[in-house]
Amino acid sequence: MKNDYLFSSYHQLPNTWDEMYTNKALIRAQYETINSYLKSVSQNELFKKQELSKQLFMSQGVTFTVYNDKDNEGIEKIFPFDIVPRIITAPEWDIIDKGIQQRIKALNLFIKDIYHDQFIIKDGIIPAELIYSCPNFLREMVGVNVPHDIYVHISGVDLIRNNDGAFYVLEDNLRTPSGVSYMLENREISKRIFPGILPKSNIRGVSNFPNLLYKKLEELSDVSHPNIVLLTPGIYNSAYYEHTTLARLMGIELVEGRDLLVKDHVVFMKTTNGLKRVDIIYRRIDDDFLDPLEFNANSTLGVAGIMAAYRKGNVNIVNAPGTGIADDKAIYIYVPDMIEYYLNETPILKNIETYQMGKPEEFKHVEEHIKDMVIKKTDGSGGYGMLMGHEATDEEIKNYLNEVKQKPHGFIAQPILRLSTAPCCINGQLTPRCVDLRPFALAGKNGIDITPGGLTRVALKKGSLVVNSSQGGGSKDTWIIK
């Protein structure tokens, strides 16, 4: 049986890197095994495999809830999964691995510096007003010492591959990055739908992530068997599935804010037999909601007094509060400078050229090239509130630029990128769709480990560059060759 239909209409996008085909329409070596397998599978079997993957996600409850503003009733959805894996070679991964290590190392040093001596400001590398005007700068963290000087324990750096074939950093997610459960779950699904192909293709495993995370968390405490908990906002959070999965795979307690209390600057959890001390909190709630006494007073998700306990060193919070200062879109511009300043190294992974709208000459440049630009809010995320110059009307551009003029420092612009494409199985045919890559890095006292894999997000809508799950994105399993 030969499934020729599958390969019958793969139209590469112009001026775009394709993960599977070279620009001479030859299949890249890393895709050969999976390709010959796909060719041997009939159309019908392929549909069955797609259906099986959906069912597996549903029956295991790998879902997220989307809330409708009108009736506030949630609809459970699965994050669309494309069965064709995205494959990265060993040399390519080597660059990513070293590049992310370097970046996270520098970013950790930066956060420590910003909350202590601020050498980087004093030496004139980063302007002070940029730091102090950033909403993610937490005055509550100034002068606070954190164990082993690690602020960012878990990060998910978003990478894209440009048409030159090189990986660029789109953003460093240093607060509470999500998606790692999909890295794990997607792999489990691949094992089911491509029996025997993973070992044949020499793919590195990802299943060690929870053990590694647990080890990194445990190392942070001086206690021999620290009580580690995962703090979730609760079942209504869109990443709740991930919270339960990680807690289950690590064997730690999944707690909500109301399960914890602070007494004499020590954090306890409320158990059926009294209070039990908590040593380390892997929190999946944002800084703003962490402690109603210090941040958002209306938050019922956090724990009153937890920041005071943290500052006393009685509990460890992971990632540290205040890391948002380093993944702000305006600060992003300075990461290459940080790498040179703190490490005296040349950045391995490039930044995307970024214009600060607060600088008049850069504003002018953006305005002149608006059709090739995307403008973003420095404190935005999730793909909301952006202007994509090539698809906006003149009216929309005018209105947006007016908004920018009100508060130019709150915006940055980047040239519209050529995200690389990868083959997706859509209606029984392989079709190129834009992808990005989010590998997950774990920093501990013995160094930084990046699990060989990650979350490949894909813009399933034709021609779309937006990979966010909230806006029609899906995901793929990511295979790294040994």
Residues that bind another protein (CB under 8 A): 58-61, 234-235, 240, 244, 247-248, 251-256, 258-259, 261, 263, 269-275
For another protein, the closer of residues 247 and 434 by Cβ is 247
CB nearer to another protein: give 227 or 469: 227
**Residues listed for the chain:** 482
Query: Which stretches within 407-454 are classed as H helix?
Result: none
Question: How far apart are alpha carbons 353 and 168 in whole angstroms?
Answer: 10
The CA distance from 273 to 286, in Å, is: 30
> Cα torsion for 51, 56, 62, 68, to the nearest 10°?
30
- Looking at beta carbons only, is 122 or 276 nearer to another protein? 276
Nearest distance from residue 234's CB to another protein, in Å?
A: 8
Task: Compute the least distance from the CB of residue 272 to another protein, in Å.
Answer: 5
| Residue 274 or 360 having the CB closest to another protein | 274
Q: How far is the CB of 269 from another protein (least distance, A)?
A: 6
Here the tokens at position 257 are 């804010």
Which three-class secondary structure state does DSSP give residue 266? strand
Number of Cβ within a 10 Å radius of residue 462: 10
CA-CA distance, 83 to 419, in Å (whole number)? 20
Structure tokens belonging to residue 8: 């019958």
Q: How far is the CB of 249 from another protein (least distance, A)?
A: 9
Shortest separation between residue 197's beta carbon and another protein, angstroms: 25
Q: Min. distance of Cβ 248 from another protein in angstroms?
A: 4
Which residue number, 76 or 345, has a Cβ lying nearer to another protein?
A: 76
**Measured on CA atoms in the order 283, 299, 321, 438, is the torsion positive or negative?**
positive
CA–CA distance, 433 with 456 (Å, rounded to integer): 12
Q: Give 475's contacts (C-beta < 8 A, 6+ positions apart).
A: 79, 80, 81, 82, 179, 182, 186, 455, 456, 457, 458, 469
Beta bridge partners of 440: 156
Q: How far is it, in rounded angstroms, from Cα 268 to Cα 245? A: 23
**Chain centroid to CA 103: how far?**
14
- In the bound complex, what is the minimum distance in angstroms from residue 1's beta carbon to another protein? 32
Residue 45's SS3 state is helix
Name the minimum Å distance from CB 60 to another protein.
7
